[in-house]
A and B are shown apart, each in its own frame.
Chain A
Amino acid sequence: MFTRRNALLAAPAFFASNAIAQIRRGDELTVGVWGGAQERILREFVSGPLEAQHGVRINYVLGGTTERRARAYAERGRPSFDLLYLNIFESRQAVRDGVTQAANTNVPNAQHLYPVARLGGFGVAFNPVTIVYDRRMVAQPMTSWRDFWRDDLRGKVIWPTYPGAQGTAALLMAAKVFGGDENNIDPGFAAIARLRPFPAIQASQDQLFGMFDQQVGAASVEFGSFTRSYAEARNPNIVIADPVEGQAVATNVACITVGTRAQALAEAFVNLHLSPACQRAYAERIYYSPTVNNVEFPPALAAKLVLGPEAVGKLVDFDWDVVIRNQPRWSSRFTREIAG
């Protein structure tokens, strides 16, 4: 009986404004998120305070985006997750597919969100994808996405695999600088094919850093944040470029599931994630940039982040509907024309 009543309470909370659902002692929230530093920050700044304040229990299911998303789709409408974290394009698709909810107005801190972070749920961190390179292996600094096609980089580009945040950004930017876009992807594929043969194709940041350690190649496309940590810790020769065309937007998004029985608690969780303290911790520890406009940083740190409406506006965004619709076709093309 208890669960059914809960479900009845949650349904109007989702459709109408949230007047009925409240957090009660003993409520439980299941959150699907990445492990490591992210789990540590969330426990410290979000679930710790929530548990202390409301007497609730927050459970984490740790894992990668792929499994989490596949599971949420399999459980559509009857989710075991109340809240899960996805990447930018997956989150917008999940809203369209009726798996997760769009952003609503019940999260007070969400009023500070930049517009681009309000799509597909609540954007909690900007983590843009950009050009990264080894300064020892290039003739001059890389300042444009076109620089991958320079002569001094011939045979030295480690291309990121597709699909994936890095590979998607790389493909779309290649199309863009050669006169195409997401609706006209051929110039992108043609340009990437010209870069062959690749010394390697990278499938993850850890793999790329291993390749940089071994000087397998000179340049690649990767998250600036992790690459900065890597460069500072063990390879000062790696440069995180800020190309003239802009960095490609990538966002971590908190997505509340359709059918959750802990709507109010999930919203409270997201609210704390968007709090200045939590956003600052993300920036200080892993160089994630805030998606809210009400956090201040010391200049040294600010220089390494994407801050302010102008910088956020310069991030290159795409029509993710088109991107997602074409993903199977592009993936198959990538495997045949670029890798393999």
Chain B
Amino acid sequence: MLAAFAAPLGVVALLSVQESSELFAPLSFTPSAAQYAEILGDRFYLRTFLNTLLLGAVVTAVSVVLAYPMALWLTRLPPAWKPLGFACVLVPLLTNVVVRSLGIILLLGRGGILTRITEGLGLGRVDLLFGWFAVGLALTQVFLPFMVLALYDVLEAQEKRLTEAASGLGAGPVVTFWRVTFPLSLAGLRAGMTVVFLLASTAYVSATLVGGRKVLVSGMVVLREGLEILNYPLAAAMAMLMLGASVAVTLGLAFVIGRSMPWLSGRGQGEAWVPPRALVLILEALGPWLSRLLLALALFLLLFPLLLVAVASVNNSPQASVAQFLGFTWRWYVAVWENPRYLSDAWVSVQLALCCVAISLAIALPASFALGRGTFRGREWLGAALMLPLALPGIAIGLGMLRLLQWFTALPPFLGLLAVHVVLVAPFMLALLRASVQQLDRALEEAAGGLGASPARVFARVILPQLGPGIGVACVIGFLLSFGEVTVTAFLTTARMQTLPVRIYAEATFSLENTVNAISTGIILLTMLLLWAVNRLMPLDRVWRR
């Protein structure tokens, strides 16, 4: 696992300190800062880099605001409805990125929904498409699910009696949220913010598709310099700078949120600020409505792609489009069904994702206990180091792997792909599980131990049931990430082994057909079934709390 990530990272680091940008120049082992100097000395690159970080920060902030109402809504759903609720959250992760960005175009375009609303209200035309707003919206849509799921588990684990006690003491919903629910969810918030920031600041596909190339982000610089122009050293230096910024942000978040949870280390809490009474009353009156509005907004943002995909999958148009409906047809489903290659590639993807989740869980679960409960020095540094694969843009990992292809192709194809997928997926599962582990009630374990239960029994009968939802959520996310991975896999796919997303991507690079949407719709339905089955085996909430 370490080698699978450390090797490409090492290559990227080595490439970034090359002095010469010549394609076939021999690798030099004398480090040179030439590439870094070029980026940092160029105001254009510097501005791109800072803009990207700002974009990541804004997307993270908006996701937080939208995710709280959504996650709270999920915890309050009746158990039977939970799988459906989860499916809603996961829709954007299950739809093709091209189709999703088509949705943004439909939403924001000149004849789009938003424009019609503002014109109807007499506000005139707003053209928000192809700019930073559209990119931010597209990124929020894809990464919101990570934030919601990170918050869901910690919110679900909260003692319901605490909120009852708060309201019994006269606190309204807003004050209860601010003084009880929010502080107790900080562990999940940290996981969510870290993951969303890292993903948003390294993403480039959405920026390419809905930014109309007016928006330039660091990932696009890596892609263009590295793959189109074949200037590996400059691309590698940019990737290393992104990595450095991500590590700084991860540590910064850990520090700030750690300071906001003084009760964990037993330190006392300072005097809380008491807002004026009038302000509280206003907020209490507005709060519930605002929360509902945000929930509706979040649900719309998440579900809109589903609508588009479902409509497009029965659209009788040779190119994938939802802007015009040319008649109803089942032919895309028939095409998928009749082509054995889709099914065999899908089977490869499923096997890969299952193995990947199993191995990632075996790594992430012990690691999350070590990080969540350990008190050793350098814990935060280790935590940040384990998040590194998320901080390095996928395209840079691909770049590093290119240099290692000769060794890589000597491995059996399945094992090679598996190793890379584990590297990409394990950090996510670790981030989510770490928050869950921090929420565990240690008093229960101590009580069980005091009653004579062996450590193994304590783990199986006390810890595992409490962690159930957290593990379930982490596994679902891990599975979907591996199942959908295309950026790095596209470099590593061989003639003998191909995954479904790589096939779809390869077809899309030629011309996007509606079979993509038929497959997406099928996958969404399958996910619902899968969630339903998971919920039967491993409930997504804590059964004994009902």
Residues of A within 8 A of B (CB): 30, 34-39, 59-67, 70-71, 73-76, 78, 80, 97, 161, 163, 198-203, 205-207, 209-211, 213-216, 226, 229-230, 233-235, 286, 327-328, 331, 335-336, 339-340
Minimum distance in angstroms from B531 CB to a CB of chain A: 30
Question: Are B24 and A230 in contact (CB-based, < 8 A)?
Answer: no
* Cβ contacts B287-299/A at 8 Å (1 or 0 each): 0000000000000
Contact present for A80 and B506 (CB under 8 Å): no
* Contact of A75 (CB < 8 Å), options: B102, B406, B490: B406
CB distance from A263 to the nearest CB of B (A): 17
Q: Which residues of A contact B326 (CB under 8 A)?
A: 233-234
**B228 near A163 (CB under 8 angstroms)?**
yes
A73 to B23, CA, bound (A): 9
Encode contact with A along B195-234: 1 for CB under 8 Å, 0 otherwise.
0000000000000110011101000000010111111000
Q: Which of A78, A202, A209, A335 contacts B319 (CB 8 A)?
A: A209
| Residue B318 CB within 8 A of the other chain | yes
For residue B343, CB closer than 8 A to chain A, the reply is: no
For A233, list chain B residues within 8 Å (CB).
317-319, 326
Closest to A82 in B: B495
Could you tell me the distance in whole angstroms from the C-beta of A201 to the nearest C-beta in chain B? 4
17 A-B pairs with CB atoms under 8 Å apart are: A37-B511, A38-B510, A62-B493, A62-B506, A64-B490, A71-B405, A80-B494, A163-B229, A199-B130, A200-B213, A210-B323, A213-B324, A216-B129, A233-B326, A234-B321, A328-B229, A339-B216
B536 / chain A contacts, CB cutoff of 8 Å: none
Interface residues of B in 397-436 (CB under 8 A from A): 398, 402-403, 405-406, 409
A313 to B220, CA, bound (A): 37
Contact status A209-B510, CB under 8 Å: no
Contacting residue for A74 out of B319, B402, B495, CB 8 A: B402
Is there contact, CB below 8 Å, between B317 and A328? no
CA gap between A122 and B229 in the complex, in Å? 23
Bound complex: CA A75 to CA B229 (Å): 17
Let me know if B111 and A200 touch, CB within 8 A: no
Q: Which of B106, B403, B511 has the most CB of A within 10 A?
A: B511
Contact for B509 among A64, A78, A230, A339, CB less than 8 A: A64
Extra contacts, 16 of them, besides A74-B405, A202-B212, A327-B228 (Cβ < 8 A), are A35-B508, A36-B511, A60-B495, A62-B493, A70-B226, A73-B23, A75-B405, A80-B494, A163-B229, A198-B212, A205-B511, A206-B98, A206-B319, A234-B317, A235-B324, A339-B216
Bound CA–CA A203/B98 (angstroms): 12
| Complex: A78 Cα to B491 Cα, angstroms | 16
Least distance between A125 CB and chain B CB atoms (Å): 12
Q: A67-B227, A71-B402 are in contact. Are A200 and B129 (CB under 8 A)?
A: yes
Q: Is B29 an interface residue (CB 8 A)?
A: no
Q: Does B75 contact A (CB under 8 A)?
A: no
- List of B residues within 8 angstroms of A286 by Cβ: 511
Distance, CA A78 to CA B410, complexed state (A): 13
Given contacts A97-B23, A203-B213, A207-B209, contact A213 B323 (CB under 8 A): yes
- Residues of A contacting B226 with CB < 8 Å? 70
Q: Which residues of A contact B323 (CB under 8 A)?
A: 210, 213-214
Rounded to whole Å, the gap between the CB of A304 and the closest CB of chain B is: 16
Task: Please tell me if the beta carbons of A214 and B105 are within 8 angstroms of each other in the complex.
Answer: yes
Q: Are A34 and B509 interface neighbours, CB within 8 A?
A: yes
Say whether A340 contacts B214, CB under 8 Å. Answer: yes
Using Cβ atoms and an 8 Å threshold, which residues of chain A touch B495? Answer: 30, 59-61, 80
Chain B proximity of A213: nearest CB distance (Å): 4
With A62-B503, A70-B227, A73-B23 as given contacts, are A201 and B214 in contact (CB-CB < 8 Å)? yes
Tell whether, in the assembled complex, residue A35 and residue B503 are in contact, meaning their CB atoms are under 8 Å apart: yes
Q: A161 to chain B: closest CB distance in Å?
A: 5
**Complex-state Cα separation, A210 to B109, whole angstroms:** 10
Task: Return the 3 tightest CB-CB contacts between A and B, nearest first.
Answer: A59-B495, A62-B506, A35-B506
Residue B149 is within 8 A (CB to CB) of chain A in the complex: no
- A205–B508 Cα distance when bound, in Å, is 10
Our pick among B109, B129, B208, B510 for the contact of A35 (Cβ within 8 Å) is: B510
B-side contacts of A206, CB under 8 Å: 98, 319-320, 508, 511-512
Q: Complex formed: what's the CA distance from A205 to B511 in Å?
A: 8
Cα distance A279–B216 when bound, in Å?
Answer: 40
| Chain B residues whose C-beta falls within 8 Å of the C-beta of A65 in the assembled complex | 509
Q: Given A35-B509, A37-B510, A214-B106 in contact, is the A331-B224 Cβ separation under 8 Å?
A: yes
State whether the Cβ of B44 lies closer than 8 Å to any Cβ in chain A: yes
Residues of A within 8 A of B110 (CB): 214-216
Nearest-CB distance from B186 to chain A (Å)? 38
Which residues of chain B are near A216, meaning CB under 8 Å?
109-110, 129-130
Count of residues in B whose CB is under 8 Å from the partner chain: 58
Q: Which residues of A contact B502 (CB under 8 A)?
A: 62-63
The answer on a CB contact under 8 Å between B505 and A234 is: no
User: Which residues of chain B from 320 to 341 have a CB within 8 Å of any chain A CB?
Assistant: 320-321, 323-324, 326
Contact of B208 among A78, A203, A211 (CB under 8 A): A203
Residue B284 lies at the interface, judged by CB distance under 8 Å to chain A? no
Contacts of B380 in A (CB 8 A): none
A251 to chain B, nearest CB (A): 16
Task: Tell whether B513 is near chain A: CB-to-CB under 8 Å.
Answer: yes
Q: How far is the CA of A209 from the CA of B161 in the complex (A)?
A: 56
Q: Does B545 contact A (CB under 8 A)?
A: no
Residue pair B23, A161 in contact (C-beta under 8 Å)? no
Complexed CA–CA distance, A21 and B507 (Å): 34
A163–B476 CA distance with the chains assembled, in angstroms: 39
B494: which A residues are within 8 A, CB to CB?
A: 61, 80
- When C-beta atoms are compared, the residue in chain A nearest to B228 turns out to be A163
B496 within 8 A of partner (CB): yes
Contact B506 A64, beta carbon cutoff 8 Å: yes
List of B residues within 8 angstroms of A200 by Cβ: 129-130, 212-214
**A51 → B minimal CB distance (Å):** 14
Which residue of chain A has the shortest Cβ distance to B212 in the bound complex?
A: A200
Q: Closest residue to B230 on the A side, CB-wise?
A: A73
B511 CB contacts on chain A under 8 angstroms:
36-37, 205-206, 226, 229, 286
Q: How far is the CB of B66 from chain A (nearest CB, A)?
A: 26
C-alpha gap A70/B493 in the complex (Å):
13
Minimum Cβ distance to chain A for residue B477 (Å) = 26
B26 to chain A, nearest CB (A): 13
Residues of B within 8 A of A161 (CB): 213
Residue B112 at the A interface, CB < 8 A? Answer: yes
In angstroms, Cα B229 to Cα A102, docked, is: 22
Residue of B nearest to A159 (CB): B213
B140 sits at the interface (CB 8 A)? no
A269 to chain B, nearest CB (A): 14
Task: Note all chain B residues with C-beta closer than 8 A to A75.
Answer: 405-406
Expressed in whole angstroms, the minimum distance between the Cβ of B135 and any Cβ of chain A is: 13
CB nearest neighbor in B for A212: B323
Is B52's CB within 8 Å of the partner chain A?
Answer: no
Question: Which B residues between 62 and 106 are near A, CB-CB below 8 angstroms?
Answer: 98, 102, 105-106
B141 at the interface (CB under 8 A from A): no
Question: Is B498's CB within 8 Å of the partner chain A?
Answer: yes
When distances are taken between beta carbons in the complex, the residues of chain B under 8 Å from A226 are 511
Given the known interface contacts A61-B495, A80-B405, A340-B214, the answer about A66 and B319 at a Cβ–Cβ threshold of 8 Å is no
A203 to B509, CA, bound (A): 11
Residues of B within 8 A of A331 (CB): 224, 228-229
Q: How far is the CA of A141 from the CA of B342 in the complex (A)?
A: 43
Complex alpha-carbon distance, A80 and B398, angstroms: 17
Q: A214 to chain B: which residues have CB within 8 Å? A: 105-106, 109-112, 323
**Complex alpha-carbon distance, A166 and B318, angstroms:** 22
Chain A residues within an 8 Å CB radius of B321: 209-210, 213, 234
- Chain A residues whose C-beta falls within 8 Å of the C-beta of B498 in the assembled complex: 61-62
Contact of A59 among B106, B496, B513 (CB under 8 A): B496
